[in-house]
A and B are shown apart, each in its own frame.
Chain A
């Protein structure tokens, strides 16, 4: 068991060190959702403020609505960032070192996932604290109950990042990930607008949003932030996490020749 723990410790520590040493990355990760919260939401405040949907029990401002979606945004970007760092590791050769370890590959990937998720959660909490400083708050207990939701959602999106990193072979291709994964996932979700609003304009878009695992991750966080469990969102997020982890392990299976496969 010990080698497993040693590798977990080493990989998580490496992620943490990398994170601590890249202070800009931390700030950048916070600035992005804060711009949405303080600029974008301010503009839309009056436009979308009038509706009551679960888990809210009264009318809320748009700022309050998008906070869970922006937590999801942090997890999504961080998941993709860790995929970017894996591509970088592969180019630099440090991944070879890692994957040459005698431990099973799935375990190494899980360690990597654990490291990136832990950092995602820290960032999400930092964002929640700053949002609270600007008066966008949730019930006190929500800050505790949101932790498992952030964990599950973080694992799911981190696993998606791992899966993508097994396909993206060069840093330059990361722009493609932005265009074809992050943006569609974020905008075709309930992060910025409630799904009923989407249904009013297009049933097709609404159906796509309802299938998007990121929607379920956001709803899981949204309900948890108010001390509630959205079982549908939980089931979808866990299912998506399992599928992404499974595919990532398969993607990194040495028998398949990845990640060394030429392409």
Chain B
């Protein structure tokens, strides 16, 4: 199996991926680094508001939304020019957000205010503010757009928001300090990572009941340092790649059995990640080492680490 991975790695190194860019927010530098997915080099750096963290593109990739946490704003940038077009009223300290499938509503976690703010990106108005637990952070939206999740770091809960009424219809307890959430299997499952708990909890979206839980263990790394944060699913939803924070590894999890199949060494304090266009490569942001590690997805191997700004945090792909 290892040999097979090795051969695949060498083949995929020879064949360049489809052209595209990975956009990375640099929390300490107040900048964005743009990485060319062909050359694996930083081709552009743009200034942003203070402490940029969450980042996402509009459906047609004509706008990029950036959570400028310490500027208390979500900034809208023209990705062609790097020009900040305008700020959206985001509420205080926006950390992460999720763009609704309607491409019109941003759901923003306001870390300091214990609310989730819903903003209409066209009218630039706050549509609703929903009270959630203390220190909301992780945000996810179901593929049908009916449910939005906010996780609260201190309350240790996933809050289920009905997007029709903008009210909570369920709260589920998770392990300590939930940081990130994602729907998978067509919205049938919700995964929530718990940084201090060192686990990922899987919920049945229909009943909000717990389906399973996975923990991580890396040879030679103290369990306290294994802190799952961001994660992404492969397009076939068979595998999830999980960033393990100061453990400096990304875990490859079988999304059917919830078992960890492999750990990949990346840079220090890995936060979040984004796939390139054909999902052949995964780009992880490594906060402390200030770089982005490129993982060959088929071979499950790190192929390169690219220096970006200080404390890279969020990542998003643009074709």
* Stretch of A57-65, A71-79, A173-181, A183-191 on the interface side: A57-65
Q: How far is the CB of B270 from chain A (nearest CB, A)?
A: 10
* Stretch of B1-9, B43-51, B105-113 on the interface side: B1-9
Judged by DSSP, the binding face of B is mixed
Question: Does B199 have its Cβ within 8 Å of any Cβ on chain A?
Answer: no
Q: Which residue of A lies closest to B2 (CB)?
A: A135
Q: Which of A128-142 contact B (CB under 8 A)?
A: 132-133, 135, 137, 139-141
* Stretch of A44-52, A213-221, A238-246 on the interface side: A44-52
Q: Contact at A140–B7, with CB atoms within 8 Å?
A: yes
Chain A contacts for B303, CB-based, 8 A: 57-58
Q: How far is the CB of B14 from chain A (nearest CB, A)?
A: 9
Q: How far is the CB of A108 from chain B (nearest CB, A)?
A: 41
Q: Contact at B6–A59, with CB atoms within 8 Å?
A: no
Expressed in whole angstroms, the Cα–Cα distance for A58 and B293 within the complex equals 7
Q: Which residue of B lies closest to A62 (CB)?
A: B220
| A140 touches which of B10, B267, B289, B302 (Cβ 8 Å) | B10
Question: Does B248 have its Cβ within 8 Å of any Cβ on chain A?
Answer: yes
Chain B contacts for A132, CB-based, 8 A: 2-3, 6
Q: Which residue of B lies closest to A44 (CB)?
A: B220
Chain B contacts for A139, CB-based, 8 A: 6, 9-10, 13
Which among A49, A58, A133, A135 has the highest number of chain B CB atoms within 10 Å?
A58
Expressed in whole angstroms, the Cα–Cα distance for A133 and B267 within the complex equals 25
| B2 touches which of A46, A58, A60, A133 (Cβ 8 Å) | A133
Q: Contact at B10–A50, with CB atoms within 8 Å?
A: no
Chain B contacts for A50, CB-based, 8 A: 248, 268, 289
Q: Which of B297-315 contact A (CB under 8 A)?
A: 302-305
Q: Which residue of A lies closest to B265 (CB)?
A: A59
Q: Which residue of A lies closest to B305 (CB)?
A: A58
Given the contacts A46-B221, A133-B2, A61 and B265 also touching, CB distance less than 8 Å: yes
Q: Contact at B10–A57, with CB atoms within 8 Å?
A: no
Chain B contacts for A42, CB-based, 8 A: 219-220
Question: Does B200 have its Cβ within 8 Å of any Cβ on chain A?
Answer: no
Q: Contact at A46–B10, with CB atoms within 8 Å?
A: no
Expressed in whole angstroms, the Cα–Cα distance for A49 and B305 within the complex equals 14
A-B contact count, CB below 8 Å?
51
Q: Which residue of B lies closest to A46 (CB)?
A: B220
Q: Which residue of B lies closest to A50 (CB)?
A: B268
Q: How far is the CB of A44 from chain B (nearest CB, A)?
A: 9
For chain B, give the interface size range.
20 to 34
Q: Contact at A137–B2, with CB atoms within 8 Å?
A: yes
Expressed in whole angstroms, the Cα–Cα distance for A58 and B299 within the complex equals 15
Chain A contacts for B13, CB-based, 8 A: 139
Chain A contacts for B268, CB-based, 8 A: 50
Expressed in whole angstroms, the Cα–Cα distance for A61 and B264 within the complex equals 10
Q: How far is the CB of B143 from chain A (nearest CB, A)?
A: 33
Q: Which residue of A lies closest to B10 (CB)?
A: A140
Q: Which residue of B lies closest to A137 (CB)?
A: B6
Q: Which of B260-309 contact A (CB under 8 A)?
A: 265-268, 289, 293-294, 302-305
Chain A contacts for B3, CB-based, 8 A: 132, 137
Q: Contact at B9–A59, with CB atoms within 8 Å?
A: no
Q: Contact at A49–B304, with CB atoms within 8 Å?
A: no
Expressed in whole angstroms, the Cα–Cα distance for A96 and B79 within the complex equals 80
Q: Contact at B302–A59, with CB atoms within 8 Å?
A: yes
Q: How far is the CB of A71 from chain B (nearest CB, A)?
A: 17
Expressed in whole angstroms, the Cα–Cα distance for A49 and B266 within the complex equals 10
Q: Which of A101-150 contact B (CB under 8 A)?
A: 132-133, 135, 137, 139-141
Which among B265, B302, B304, B305 has the highest number of chain A CB atoms within 10 Å?
B265
Write out, one digit per residue, whether chain B residues 80-91 have a CB within 8 A of any chain A CB (1) or not (0).
Answer: 000000000000
Q: Contact at A140–B6, with CB atoms within 8 Å?
A: yes
Q: Which residue of A lies closest to B295 (CB)?
A: A58
Instruction: Pull 11 A–B residue pairs with CB atoms less than 8 Å apart, ordered by A.
Output: A46-B221, A58-B293, A58-B302, A58-B305, A59-B293, A61-B265, A132-B2, A132-B6, A137-B2, A140-B10, A141-B10
The 8 closest A-B pairs by CB, nearest first: A140-B10, A46-B220, A58-B305, A57-B304, A58-B302, A45-B220, A137-B6, A135-B2
In addition to A57-B305, A132-B2, A135-B2, 5 A-B residue pairs with Cβ atoms within 8 Å of each other are A58-B294, A58-B302, A59-B293, A139-B10, A140-B9
